[in-house]
């Protein structure tokens, strides 16, 4: 007879924890929202691309990618993960011009806006911009532009191509060194720490898609 109050108490506590986690992400002190930065020409950006082919159909892969950022980008030894988000516009993030604050596990945050989104039965394209970094790891970065291209190769294989391009601050090392600084940023950070994070995210999508297909059978 005593199990029902205990179960109800557990459910109530679970809901409180979920609400607390959802409300813990907020704009940083002094935050003022405004238009995203003007995106520079490609030769002024530092870019890196990761590609993965997942042995599942496009609908399965697309469904597996629809999960919260805090379940997608996790803390590593060198980079913070995502702890939650705070919407700055109505609705959910993803449609063009939707914008939110992304809170990180080191107590800092970024701002993100969706730029382009195209969806088709066997392909999709999503482009977004991230700026207003407050984490020390992003001190040299003015903004970043991410782009996902997902396409079904055949009935059982889907390719995800993820490109990330960064604009460095011109008055902070290494961006103050111009082309040399962009090269240093690429070889010291983008192709190592950040590439590792990108690979981890894509492998997470692969594992989720494979598990989702297995579960649905």
DSSP helix/strand/coil, 59:
helix
Tell me the domains of the chain and their CATH numbers. 43-216 (3.30.530.20)
Residue 214 clears pLDDT 80, i.e. is over it: no
Contact criterion met (CB below 8 Å) for 86 and 100: yes
Per-residue model confidence as pLDDT tens digits over 90-143: 999 999 999 999 999 999 999 999 999 999 999 999 999 999 999 999 999 999
Neighbouring C-beta atoms of residue 86, cutoff 10 Å: 17
More confident residue, 134 or 1: 134
Confidence of residue 213 (pLDDT cuts 50, 70, 90): low
DSSP helix/strand/coil, 185:
helix
State residue 212's pLDDT score. 79
Residue 153 clears pLDDT 50, i.e. is over it: yes
In angstroms, what CA-CA distances link 203 with 10, 32, 73?
34, 36, 11
Helices (H) and strands (E) in the chain, counts: 4, 7
Average pLDDT, the chain: 90
State residue 200's pLDDT score. 97
Per-residue model confidence as pLDDT tens digits over 28-60: 999 999 999 999 999 999 999 999 999 999 999
State residue 135's pLDDT score. 94
For the chain, percent of residues with pLDDT exceeding 90: 85
Half-sphere exposure of residue 141: CA atoms within 13 angstroms, side-chain side: 25
Report the candidate in 126, 108, 129 with the shortest Cα–Cα distance to residue 117: 126
Q: Tell me the whole-structure pTM to 2 decimals.
A: 0.86
| Interval 63-76 mean pLDDT | 95
State residue 9's pLDDT score. 40
């Amino acid at each position: 007879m005593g199990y029902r109050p205990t179960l109800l108490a557990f459910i109530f506590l679970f809901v409180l924890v979920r609400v607390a986690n959802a409300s813990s992400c907020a704009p940083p002190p002094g935050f003022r929202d405004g238009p995203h930065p003007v995106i520079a020409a490609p030769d002024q950006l530092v870019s890196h691309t990761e590609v993965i082919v997942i042995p599942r159909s496009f609908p399965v892969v697309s469904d597996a990618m629809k999960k919260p950022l805090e379940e997608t980008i996790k803390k590593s030894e060198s980079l913070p993960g995502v702890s939650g988000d705070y919407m700055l516009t109505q609705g959910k993030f993803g449609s063009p011009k939707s914008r939110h604050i992304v809170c990180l596990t080191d107590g800092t945050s970024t701002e993100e806006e969706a730029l382009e989104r195209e969806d088709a039965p066997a392909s999709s394209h999503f482009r977004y911009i991230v700026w207003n970094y407050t984490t020390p790891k992003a001190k040299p970065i003015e903004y970043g532009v991410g782009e996902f291209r997902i396409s079904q190769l055949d009935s059982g294989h889907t390719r995800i191509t993820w490109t990330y391009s960064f604009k460095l601050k011109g008055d902070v090392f290494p961006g103050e060194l111009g082309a040399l600084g962009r090269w240093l940023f690429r070889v010291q950070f983008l192709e190592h720490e950040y590439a590792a994070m990108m690979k981890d995210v894509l492998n997470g999508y692969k594992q989720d898609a494979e598990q989702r297909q297995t579960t649905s059978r």
